Structure 1
Amino acid sequence: MLRIELSTQDLARIRFAPQPAPLVELKLALMMLLRPDSEQVFGRWRRGLRQRLPGTTRPLWDLISAYTGPAFLDPLSTDLATGLDAVRAAPITLVRAGVEQAWAGRRGPMPPWLRDLVHGDVTSRERLCLGLNDAFDAAFGATWPQVTAGHKAELARYALDAAERGVVGALATLCPGSRLVDGCWEVDAPYARHVAAAGRGLVLLPTFHWTGATLVGDNEDQPLLVVYPAGPGTPVLPAAPGEDALAPVLGSTRARALRLLSDPLSTSELAANLAVSPGAASMHAAALREAGLIDTVRNGRAVRHELTALGKLLTNAAGMSFL
């Protein structure tokens, strides 16, 4: 079990990562690529990614296994270039500790490039960054808009839960089976770990290519990073030509309904635009309303649906090119 000790000060300092973190998502996706489980769900995705990964990514497998990867490989950043700069600037002590941990238990001598990396060789560090860059392009070149849309949808869900249930209630529903007990957030996990936020607070980061346990990054003088699996438990696959980036998150009809409601519509107008019955349109509107993405305003017997601030944030993040 994972137990995260939280003070009142920590609860006041919980924030949701504003955007997905490219290198965090990448490292977990590469770990998922190596795992033997979920083959029925992840099989197609794994086969496709293996075919796309170029030879420049080969060094990554000297550091990443099915369940672990050095912390210096996935700094928290909102864009790839900034993340790669952080990898280039990672303290040599952090790099050395990460390499030693990654290579522990492996047979045979450490590859020469990895030995050079441990000793601060700039060429080896650049070789690693090239591998990360090319792996990101192979894994997410066609799907990053969907990952971003999924992140915004998860942010909206958390914000709605926090507004309705408070921060404690929102945390308890963030990870299935988790709970707040005596000042500790307890999360079901196949490992035992106890960490204290110690006034630093938390940063919550959903990931969409990991079905394993919730993970915690604990760096001194920084908030605890809590990375948890989100989404439907399936990998994000490239959208078909013309497919809405929100469709894998909300479903194609609700994604189109959300975009249509950039201009307020009545239920009958929404039904006509979606080519569905008024009853079906009402059900779609209710689901979007429960997610905090639209508001419904009644004027006499008529009702009109319109986007909330969170709904506008989500549609803007995923682009408006599919209407």
Structure 2
Amino acid sequence: MGTWRIGTDALARSRFAVSALAETVSALKSLNTGIVVPGQRDWLATHAPGYRERIAADPFARALVRAAFRPRWVADFLTSPPAGPEETFADELARVRATPPEAARAELDGGPAAPLPAELAVPDLPDRAAELLGWIWTRTVEPDWSRRRRILEADIVSRTQQLSSGGWASTLDGMRPGMRWLGDGRLQVNNYDLPAKDLAGAQLLFIPSTNHRGWLGSAGSDRHSIVYPCTGILADPADRQPPRALSRLLGPVRAGILTLLDSPKSPTQLVALTGYGYGSVGGHLQVLLDAQLVRRRRSGRSVLYFRTAAGDLLVGAQHRDADPSGLPRQSPPIH
């Protein structure tokens, strides 16, 4: 199994981060394989035809995708972890372009079993790889980035709260397939037969993404990342959209918050998921509390809100009684 040795110093320096480049690579992998979490199926149906057309017209891009995303492996130069929280997609893409061409070619050369394709033996390989990533970002990710970012940030809030209440073992176990905390400073990162890696003195980043499995990344020996599948709302957003009747009854913001509280969430998570201000979310939560549709409890330093039985009944009834358009079903005639 693949194991990383992570001392207390590395854990102290580790942090959660959002990466636009990681989300772009996730989109590229999903478009290439056709495998997405349920909540991304409409996105895939919208963008897959354009991607197939783009790839069909570009032999370099076809060869790059085959070589960079081999089974159990992703090219590091395409997935370099962000250097800081303020990095933009342009900053991350600049690091891809700055990769020495010979280093990129060496990464993509899989040896006798998978030699470097002739299409990739070009002097401007990093520039052309960055061009493909830029196309994926502009066409398929950037238009939806504000929503995606809120969801990824909400996942980070949830993980951080879990860390404060349960420690690293509860936070890391099951973060991605094959990953679990072994104790004694050892983290199993996958089930593959790989040499153990010592992260002493390095920085470790945990990056949520919409990919169904995630991957491991590195930037030299001093910065490593674990890209993991985002949980929660991305799994099935259709179930979390408030029906129109509920929105008319409570107001769209309040109905949306009540719908999201199928599992306990903090006000900070709700701010990240909805995009509304902290004061606005807090005011709506107070109204829902007064109406006894939600309750709250303390978890560590956080206050978590969750639906009461009455709140569950109200949301459940609306979902059961709405047709796919969101309009109430007509009652059968009485004879």
TM-score bucket (shorter structure)? 0.5 to 0.7
Structure 1 residues 137-167: Cα deviation after superposition (integer angstroms, max 9, x where no partner): 2221322112211221122112212222234
Q: In the aligned structure 1, how far is the partner of 2:49 from the partner of 2:287?
A: 43
Q: Secondary structure of the equivalent of 1:198?
A: coil
Structure 2 counterpart of 1:198, from 176, 200, 216: 200
Q: Secondary structure of the equivalent of 1:90?
A: coil
Change (3 A) 1:268 1:41: closer
Partner of 1:301: none
Q: Is residue 119 of structure 2 the alignment partner of residue 105 of structure 1?
A: no
Q: Secondary structure of the equivalent of 1:192?
A: coil
Q: In the aligned structure 2, how far is the partner of 1:226 from the partner of 1:197?
A: 13
Partner of 1:76: 81
Q: In the aligned structure 2, how far is the partner of 1:81 from the partner of 1:227?
A: 20
Structure 1 counterpart of 2:181, from 172, 179, 182: 179
Change (3 A) 1:229 1:47: same
Partner of 1:271: 288
Q: In the aligned structure 2, how far is the partner of 1:199 from the partner of 1:235?
A: 39
Aligned-pair Cα RMSD in Å: 4.1
Q: Secondary structure of the equivalent of 1:220?
A: coil
Change (3 A) 1:96 1:291: farther
Q: In the aligned structure 1, how far is the partner of 2:24 from the partner of 2:224?
A: 20
Partner of 2:227: 227
1:45, 1:235 within 8 Å by CA — same for their partners in 2? Answer: no
Cα offset, 1:196, TM superposition: 1.7
**Count of residue correspondences:** 269
Of all paired residues, the percent bearing the same amino acid is 19
Q: In the aligned structure 2, how far is the partner of 1:44 from the partner of 1:207?
A: 17
Cα offset, 1:37, TM superposition: 5.1
Structure 2: which 5+ runs fail to align? 242-251, 306-335
What letter is aligned with 1:154? D
Partner of 1:32: 30
- Larger mean CA deviation between 94-103 and 33-42 belongs to 33-42
2:81, 2:219 within 8 Å by CA — same for their partners in 1? Answer: no
What letter is aligned with 1:62? A
2:16, 2:156 within 8 Å by CA — same for their partners in 1? Answer: yes
Cα offset, 1:202, TM superposition: 1.4
1:4, 1:197 within 8 Å by CA — same for their partners in 2? Answer: yes
Q: In the aligned structure 2, how far is the partner of 1:195 from the partner of 1:132?
A: 29
Change (3 A) 1:290 1:267: farther
Cα offset, 1:63, TM superposition: 1.4
TM-score, length of structure 2 as denominator length? 0.64
